[in-house]
Amino acid sequence: MLVTLEGLDGSGKTTVWEALRDTYSDAVFTREPTDDSWYGEAVNRAIGDDDADPLATLFLFTADHADHLSRVVRPALDAGELVISDRYSDSRYAYQGASLRDSDLKRPMEYIRGIHSAFTRPPDKTIYLDVDPETAAARSGSTNKFEQAAYLAEVRANYERLIEAEPDRFVRIDATQSPEEVLDEVEAALDDILADA
């Protein structure tokens, strides 16, 4: 089973993902962008480059996803493992959907979903840590072009569209709560997900 954690920068995904390692010690913990491949390194260069072309950036993230799928996600799922990924394809739909809003693409999010549909493995469940863009930007420190409240507001609107399209896949958690409360709710959600599997 593939469970993903999604949300704005600073929503607390990595804090939760790290804590879950103790409780679900048999699971495979992974993330996007990957932190152990040259594809991930290329993505991180694009994140840090204010002049990086948004369409080129989409394809770098998508290449990293293809490598992540074939090298980590599919083998683990084929072996019957529980995979928990800190960010996954929805990040691309939400973030690059916003970055490409003023491009020549008519419907960027649909275009990006179309590219993925030919090869991706969709998540079985997605835990969405919901936080307002101002809190997200403040917590993340606004250190790069993605961590800006105005941009994150567009990203959040895209996440809402994704949730509206697939309400059964998403579990929304109020991520403005304390870290302890957020973790409790995520663990309860994950227990329910695994019990229903």
Ligand X SMILES: Cc1cn([C@H]2C[C@H](O)[C@@H](COP(=O)(O)O)O2)c(=O)[nH]c1=O
Task: Determine, following the binding rule CB under 6 A, whether residue 126 of this chain makes contact with ligand X.
Answer: no
- DSSP per position, 62-97: HHHHHHHIIIIIHHHHHTT--EEEES-HHHIIIIIH
Residue 159 binds: one of ligand X, ligand ATP, none (C-beta under 5 to 8 A by kind): none
Angle subtended at Cα 152 by Cα 39 and Cα 48, rounded to the nearest 5 degrees: 35
Residue 7 binds: one of ligand X, ligand ATP, none (C-beta under 5 to 8 A by kind): ligand ATP
Task: Determine, following the binding rule CB under 6 A, whether residue 9 of this chain makes contact with ligand ATP.
Answer: yes
Residue among 28, 47, 76, 193 that touches ligand X (CB under 6 A): 47
- DSSP per position, 93-142: IIIIHHHTTTSS-SSHHHHHHHHHHTT----SEEEEEE--HHHHHHHHTS
Residue 10 binds: one of ligand X, ligand ATP, none (C-beta under 5 to 8 A by kind): ligand ATP
* Cβ neighbours of residue 53 closer than 8 Å, sequence gap 6 or more: none
Phi, psi dihedral angles at 48 (to 5 degrees)? -85, -5
Stretch of 12-20, 29-37, 54-62, 96-104 lying at the interface with ligand ATP (CB under 6 A): 12-20
Residue 78, annotated as binding a ligand: no
Least Å distance between CB 196 and ligand X?
Answer: 27
- Among positions 128-167, residues that touch ligand X (CB under 6 A) are 146
- Among positions 75-104, residues that touch ligand X (CB under 6 A) are 87, 91-92, 95-96
